[in-house]
Amino acid sequence: MEKVNLAQKFDHIPDYWNPRIAGELNGQQVKLAKFKGAFEWHHHEHEDEFFLVVKGKFEMHLRDKVIELKPGEFLIVPRGVEHKPVANEEAEVLMFEPAGTVNTGNLENSERTRTNLERL
């Protein structure tokens, strides 16, 4: 059992929109990713997603509003809700979600789809 230092882990992430697994518990995973630019509109049929900004900021676009998230702020996006993260500058984000959740949700074969995630 060892602690995880988020800043140290983010230092080892060279790319964007590529979540890595930083921990597992109760069938859920803790994932870390850097965001920059605009992601794609998608939703997750069966998974709620938690996003906590560690550094930087990003906007979560929803069909009816935009929520800006800064360090120390989190948002839970319920299953079924369409969303599109947009980061005008680099953001470091911690996510919690069920193991096996695919980053692009219903867009299973997007260029940005990542499966077989690395472990940090």
Answer for the pair 42, 109: CB distance below 8 angstroms, yes or no. no
Answer for the pair 35, 93: CB distance below 8 angstroms, yes or no. yes
Contact stretch for a second copy (CB under 8 A) within 13-21, 34-42, 50-58, 109-117: 50-58
Contact stretch for a second copy (CB under 8 A) within 13-21, 35-43, 77-85, 112-120: 77-85
Is position 63 an interface residue for a second copy (rule: CB under 8 A)?
no
Q: Kind and range of the H or E element at 9?
A: helix 6-11
Q: From its phi and psi, is residue 37 left (phi > 0), alpha (psi between -120 and 50) or beta?
A: left
Binding residues vs a second copy (CB under 8 A): 1-7, 23-26, 28, 30, 47-50, 52, 54, 62, 67, 69, 72-78, 81, 94, 96-98
